């Protein structure tokens, strides 16, 4: 059967999607603090999975503290995959004088990981901590990135934000729980997807929600880039 569709502008599609999401969150009985709502809605928009309304956890004042750091400009997002990096809005970064980087494909990272018998994610996070100790660390794939970040935070690292949303089955649940507890104890802002769900697309969605909020461009009509 052939169906007829009317043209809808991209901005209106996003607005209507967000309206539907918020409406259905209410139907599911999902209630989140106002500051968290843009992040939760964008993750649901990316995944069509309302479980994120329950499993996304935020340390105290994580969002306002992250927004304050973003507004200050000059920061760096360090991701554990190039996929997550590619999903982060480059105009959004540029508008706030921020940058994004991923070390995972760096031959030196691969060589060091092989030499030490560890993962590239582990080595990447350590390099990120050395070069950008107050950066925004974003993990959507590698539990070892979270394990390393937990260790580094216990040893004194104080990033501006940690986004911990790896997907998978091995060490995923445990590494997220450890990271959240470590960040809470150290006063480090963190956003973590508890359980097995997550992924690079979720990591990018959280990042973009924060960028759009900080730049006052949550409404797609304000994104002139």
Those residues with Cβ within 8 angstroms of residue 178's Cβ, 6 or more apart along the chain or in another chain: 146, 147, 150
Give catalytic status of residue 28 as yes or no.
Answer: no
Q: What is the pLDDT of residues 180-214, one digit of tens each?
A: 999 999 999 999 999 999 999 999 999 999 999 99
What is the side-by-side order of every strand in the sheet holding 76-79? 56-58, 190-193, 161-164, 136-139, 76-79, 99-102
> Which tokens belong to 210?
């924060």
For residue 107, list its beta bridge partners: none
Those residues with Cβ within 8 angstroms of residue 137's Cβ, 6 or more apart along the chain or in another chain: 77, 78, 125, 128, 145, 149, 159, 161, 162, 163
Q: What is the pLDDT of residues 47-100, one digit of tens each?
A: 999 999 999 999 999 999 999 999 998 899 999 999 999 999 999 999 999 999
Place of tokens 């340390």: 59
- The H-or-E segment that residue 115 falls in is helix 107-116
Question: What global pTM score does this model have?
Answer: 0.95
In the chain, domain spans: 10-222
Residue whose C-alpha is closest to residue 56's, from 153, 198, 186, 189: 198
What is the pLDDT, as a whole number, of residue 41? 98
- Domain 10-222 = CATH 3.40.50.10230: yes
Do the strands 99-102 and 76-79 form a parallel or antiparallel pair, or are they unpaired? parallel
- Integer CA distances (angstroms), 23 to 18, 31, 37, 218, in order: 9, 11, 12, 18
């Amino acid at each position: 059967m052939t169906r007829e569709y009317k043209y809808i502008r991209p901005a209106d599609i996003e607005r209507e999607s967000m309206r539907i999401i918020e409406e259905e969150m209410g139907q599911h009985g999902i209630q989140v603090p106002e500051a968290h709502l843009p992040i939760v809605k964008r993750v649901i928009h990316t995944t069509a999975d309302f479980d994120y309304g329950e499993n996304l956890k935020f340390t105290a004042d994580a969002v306002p503290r992250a927004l304050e750091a973003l507004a200050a400009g000059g920061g760096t997002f360090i991701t554990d995959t190039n996929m997550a990096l590619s999903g982060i809005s480059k105009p959004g970064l540029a508008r706030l004088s921020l940058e994004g980087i991923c070390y995972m494909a760096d031959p030196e990272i691969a060589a060091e990981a092989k030499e030490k018998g560890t993962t590239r994610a582990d080595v990447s996070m350590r390099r990120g901590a050395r070069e950008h100790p107050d950066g925004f660390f974003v993990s959507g794939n590698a539990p070892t990135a979270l394990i390393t970040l937990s260790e580094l935070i216990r040893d004194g690292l104080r990033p501006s934000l940690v986004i911990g949303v790896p997907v998978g089955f091995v060490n995923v649940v445990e590494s997220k729980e450890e990271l959240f507890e470590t960040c809470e104890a150290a006063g480090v802002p963190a956003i973590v997807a508890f359980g097995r769900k997550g992924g690079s697309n979720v990591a990018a969605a959280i990042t973009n929600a924060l960028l759009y909020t900080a730049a006052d461009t949550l409404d797609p009509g304000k994104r002139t880039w």
